Amino acid sequence: MAILLHNAILATMSDGYGLSQDAIVIDGDQIAWMGGLTDLPATYARAERHDLAGRLVTPALIDCHSHIVFAGDRAAEFEMRLNGASYEEVARAGGGILSTVSATRAASEAALLANALTRADQMIAGGVATLEIKSGYGLTVADEMKLLRVAREVGRQRPLSVRVTHLAAHAIAPEYTGRAGAYIDEVAIPSLQAAQAEGLVDAVDAFCEGIAFSPAQVERVFLAAQALGLPVKLHAEQLSDLKGAVLAARFKALSADHIEYMGVDGVAALARSGSVAVILPGAFYTLRETQIPPIAALRAAGVPMAVATDCNPGSAPMTSLTLAMNMACTLFRMTPLEALQGTTLHAARALGLHDRGQIAAGQRADLAIWHAQHPAELSYRIGATPLHTRIFGGRFDA
């Protein structure tokens, strides 16, 4: 039976917030109709009615950048950094990503899944319905495959659309210290090919940075992705400007992510390629970074900006996407409208999805009903969980 939602404030996200007081009809897993209640088509007269008591409804949130499949934690490293060590110093001393790699390799697939599901559940409780999950803490062909399988499984076990991203080019595995090129040839590319053969990959990412891979090495991964028909994205300009965004744009990347140190050339390249700039204020906050991403230049160039948690054990141990929205506003002076576009409309584009991110007839019926009346409230509250109810594919959460 169709479902009718009425007496709600809708933020449709078409043309700004697209605020309206219309009713919505959900039929199956899609939004079938939207309009004034008095114009309800006769076919939906018997739909199951839900009075939302004036609450705000937005598209369900989309977290387009996360690393939730890992074991262990990095609280000790948090302490080291507070005692003065930098993120790069910790990484170069064998800590950082590599300490999570050891814990993750030692963990069973079942344990990794249980951990990832806990994080996914927190995201669902925060209003997320589409989540991107990256590999990148395995760094052998077998371990990367293990992480990718776990990521896929999260989407089977929960009411959540999961997009899986291959990120073997996240760090140089300890067995390959000083031999990043060999790691690309022997692990990053072969694991991508093997994972793609098993349908485990939706997109390909890499970490382009002094402590990770050079643009030339990333390019080889991107060429392999291109040969497999997979879209790419990139951790670019997080700690320095290696021109990763320019490279990503050349490959028509879905997105360039982090980009604190990106220059005007990167902004222009993203504007030309139509790639999304993914803003990750949680990592900026945790690392006590001071270089702010070029928000004003991105805005002026019309580059769509998404906002994501980057949930990971090192630089962003956070699962709250509304907290990331708050940080994007407070730390980067994004507007609450940009923050919400960044977790709906533009986040969908960062994943190459066009069937979600707005409230409109024909879109997937993924909706969030909030304890709020105005969308700016979602960015304004700090650390709150303002979700009232979530609807995933036309079904209310139990």
The verdict on 132 binding ligand NIG (CB under 6 A) reads no
283 touching ligand NIG, by CB under 6 A: yes
Q: Which does 162 bind (CB under 5 to 8 A by kind): Fe ion, ligand NIG, none?
A: none
Q: Compute the least distance from the CB of residue 377 to Fe ion, in Å.
A: 27
313 sits near ligand NIG (criterion: CB under 6 A): yes
Binding segment for ligand NIG (CB under 6 A), chosen from 120-128, 269-277, 295-303, 313-321, is 313-321
CB under 5 to 8 A by kind: which of ligand NIG, Fe ion, none does 232 bind?
none
Asked whether position 310 contacts ligand NIG by CB under 6 A, the answer is yes
Under rule CB under 5 A, how many of the chain's residues touch Fe ion? 1
Nearer to ligand NIG, 100 or 196 (CB): 100
Of 85, 59, 36, 40, the C-alpha closest to 359 is 59
- Residue 309 engages ligand NIG in binding (rule: CB under 6 A): no
**Stretch 318-347 residues interacting with ligand NIG (CB under 6 A):** none
- Which option in Fe ion, ligand NIG, none does residue 100 bind, with CB closer than 5 to 8 A by kind? ligand NIG
Specify the residue, 310 or 366, whose C-beta has the smaller distance to Fe ion. 310
Residues β-bridged to residue 391: 367, 396
Q: Which is nearer to ligand NIG, 207 or 261 (CB)?
A: 207
Binder of ligand NIG out of 95, 304, 314, 336 (CB under 6 A): 314
Of 9-17, 138-146, 307-315, 332-340, the segment contacting ligand NIG by CB under 6 A is: 307-315
Per the DSSP assignment, residues forming a β-bridge with 20 are 10
Out of 255, 315, 319, 320, the residue judged to bind ligand NIG by CB under 6 A:
315
Kindly determine how many residues on this chain lie close enough to bind ligand NIG according to the rule CB under 6 A.
14
With respect to ligand NIG, which residue has the nearer C-beta, 96 or 126?
Answer: 96
- Of all residues in the shown chain, the one whose CB is closest to ligand NIG is 314
| Smallest separation, CB 65 to Fe ion (Å) | 6
Residues 6+ apart with CB under 8 A from 229: none
Smallest gap from Cβ 67 to ligand NIG, in A, equals 6
The residue within the footprint of ligand NIG, chosen from 115, 161, 312, 320 (CB under 6 A), is 312
Of 13-21, 269-277, 310-318, 375-383, which segment contacts Fe ion by CB under 5 A?
310-318
Per CB under 5 A, does 310 bind Fe ion? Answer: yes
**Helices 215-227/189-197 angle, 10° precision:** 20
HEC readout, the chain: CCEEEEEEEEECCCCCCCEECCEEEEECCEEEEEECHHHCCHHHCCCEEEEEEEEEEEECEEECCCCCCCCCCCHHHHHHHHCCCCHHHHHHCCCCHHHHHHHHHHCCHHHHHHHHHHHHHHHHHCCEEEEEEECCCCCCHHHHHHHHHHHHHHHHHCCCEEEEEEEEECCCCHHHCCCHHHHHHHHHHHHHHHHHHCCCCCEEEEEECCCCECHHHHHHHHHHHHHCCCCEEEEECCCCCCCHHHHHHHCCCCEEEECCCCCHHHHHHHHHHCCEEEECHHHHHHCCCCCCCCHHHHHHHCCCEEECCCCECCCECCCCHHHHHHHHHHHHCCCHHHHHHHCCHHHHHHCCCCCCCCCCCCCECCEEEECCCCCHHHHHCCCCCCEEEEEECCEECC
Query: 97: exposed, middle or buried (C-beta count within 10 Å: 0-12, 13-18, 19+)?
Result: buried
Fill in the per-residue mask, 162 to 191: x = in contact with ligand NIG (CB under 6 A), - = not in contact. ------------------------------
Q: How far is the CB of 370 from ligand NIG (least distance, A)?
A: 28
Q: Given the complex with Fe ion, which of 260 and 310 has the nearer CB atom?
A: 310
Which residues make up the interface to Fe ion (CB under 5 A)? 310
Binding residues for ligand NIG, rule: CB under 6 A, are: 67, 96-97, 100, 207, 235, 238, 283, 310, 312-316
